[in-house]
A and B are shown apart, each in its own frame.
Chain A
Amino acid sequence: MARFLLSDGRDIVFEAAAGAERGDVAIFLLGTVFGILLHQRGEIVLHASAVRVDGKAVLFCGSSGAGKSTIAAALAQRGFPVVVDDLCAITLTGAAPLVQPDGRHLKLWAQAIAQLDLAARRGAPVRQRLQKFFVEPAAVLAEPLPLGAVYALREARPPHQAGIERPNVVDAALILRRGAYRPLMVNRLGQKADYFRAATAIANAAGIFHLTRALDFAAMPDVIARLERHWRDIGLMEKAA
């Protein structure tokens, strides 16, 4: 499709293969390649989608197919607007970890669009040959948001049962390292210690959790209800009067 050369976290040189479609090159440039560039810069970059909950960003991390965009889209339907999709850079320089909205469209598979009743906002296919589509966000956010919580998505399969739990410090650090946009980059660039420090800061300021649930659209209402209860418990949302 294309070859990309990234140097010093600053320059991207690319050559499209003969016959490559421009849109195809663009989707990899704006996703994978930008993500790797941020890794080169030494930023804390997570493979995560996020929504806004009462002024804070709540992140859902997971590898490809874990359901990040789907859960963000379902929460957006409940009035929690999408902050970022798929690629999430966290700034740790200030008092609280911050997430910068990316203003981009969600990318969802045809099945998820049908199940979440989003056909009206379905845009162009992400690539001509894929049944994965851009979905227009209901609201576009501009201001950076303080980080409220990080959930690592996990499928409910034995021995893991559905629920939300707070892992110990060591596991929380592993969640963040495995939750990096491209964990191999963190490994090869010798940034494991940076992610460990980030995990400590995020666990203290916000909280790192496992969210375990069935990979099944029928379970989505329960998942959302469970999340809202959890947000009240950890003070992200006001308790119901």
Chain B
Amino acid sequence: MTRTVWLASYPKSGNTWLRMLIANLSANEAPMNINDLPQRGGIASARAPFDYLTLIDSGLLTHDEVDVLRPRVYEELARGAQDDEYDEPAAAPPVRFVKVHDAYTLTPAGEPLLAGRRGADAAIVIVRDPRDIVASLANHAAMSLDEAIAFLSDSQAAFSMRTDRQPSQLRQKLPGWSGHVASWLDQTDLPVHVVRYEDLQADTLGTLRGALAFAGLPASDEAMQRAVAFSGFAQLRDQEQAKGFREAPRPAAPGRFFRRGESGAWREELDAGQAARIEAAHAAMMRRLGYQLTPAPALAMTG
């Protein structure tokens, strides 16, 4: 029986990098083409699998009505249903990794949107310093830094939430960065393994090994070392430059998907006030995840 493991993260937190590392475990000769990252079972909020499996036109439903039905889709997929009319894979993989940006929330009917234990066996939660997310998100979504900071603190924020057109994906609730991370860490349906972007960068091999062991997909050191070499940031960025990345923002947003891929770049990209606002809004969760807050300036001696 294939196990389902969510790769859950706030946007721009390293989800695609981890997917690339996992995909490159089976690449032998050359790095996997970034445009060959599996799209089937690609992201939980994809619209087509919903329509395919429910037979219902999601475009005739409100976002909330779609949410009521989404758990049924994840149950079916976890049971092995295919989500499209391609030829079925010869052998079911031992673990099905599915990217998800939705916060872990309940539907209007009161059940977990992602169907709890019936939708997956476990979750790998990828987190990143919110000060680094801001600049990356601003680039991705064509926002200013200040708008991105506000988005990270907005408990009503979501992706694909417009109602005057049909967004290509289903709505993904992103109730603030702290709220999003807390929703995943504090839910009690699924066991969780936290991967920090910064750790993935400092010790890619060790962090990957830990995540795979948690997921129940052990890999040889050789395969992991090759995957790490094939998934370097420069490698991904150069591939995007050469042939484009189908998951990148539409041309309206001029940003590249693989932008800097650094940790701590916020020190150059944010001004002190911007960093302070993020820290003020997210101090508790940042401390919980081990992100250092800027020390308060020493009080000037008077007298």
Residues of chain A touching chain B, judged by Cβ–Cβ distance below 8 Å, are 1, 27-28, 31-32, 36, 63-65, 109-112, 126-127, 129-132, 157-159, 174, 177-178, 180, 182-187, 214-216
Residues of B239-268 whose CB lies within 8 A of A = 243-246, 248, 250-252
Pairs A–B under 8 Å by Cβ, sample size 15: A31-B57, A32-B55, A32-B57, A64-B47, A65-B167, A65-B168, A109-B165, A109-B166, A131-B164, A132-B60, A157-B244, A158-B35, A158-B244, A182-B55, A215-B168
Label chain A's interface by main secondary structure. Answer: mixed
A88–B53 Cα gap in the complex (Å)?
A: 20
Question: Which residues of B lie under 8 Å from residue A1 when comparing CB positions?
Answer: 65
Shortest CB distance A215–B (Å): 7
Q: CA–CA, A65 to B169, complex, Å?
A: 9
B164 closest partner in A (C-beta): A110
CA distance A163 to B166 in the complex (A): 24
A228 to B137, CA, bound (A): 40
In the assembled complex, how far is the CB of residue B168 from the closest CB belonging to chain A, in whole angstroms? 6
CB distance from A174 to the nearest CB of B (A): 7
Taking Cβ atoms with an 8 Å cutoff, the residues of B that contact A are 35, 47-48, 51-53, 55-60, 62, 65, 84-86, 163-168, 243-246, 248, 250-252
User: A174-B85, A177-B85 given as contacts; is B165 within 8 A of A112 (CB)?
Assistant: yes
In the bound complex, what is the Cα–Cα distance between A183 and B251 (angstroms)? 31
Residues of chain B lying within 8 A (CB to CB) of residue A187 = 85
* A65-B166, A158-B245 known; A129+B62 contact, CB < 8 A: yes
Given A65-B47, A127-B60, A182-B55, 6 other A-B contacts at CB below 8 A?
A32-B60, A63-B47, A64-B51, A110-B165, A111-B165, A132-B59
Q: Which residues from chain A contact B57 at a C-beta distance below 8 Å?
A: 31-32, 64
* Cβ of A125 to closest chain B Cβ, rounded Å: 11
Contacts of A31 in B (CB 8 A): 57, 60
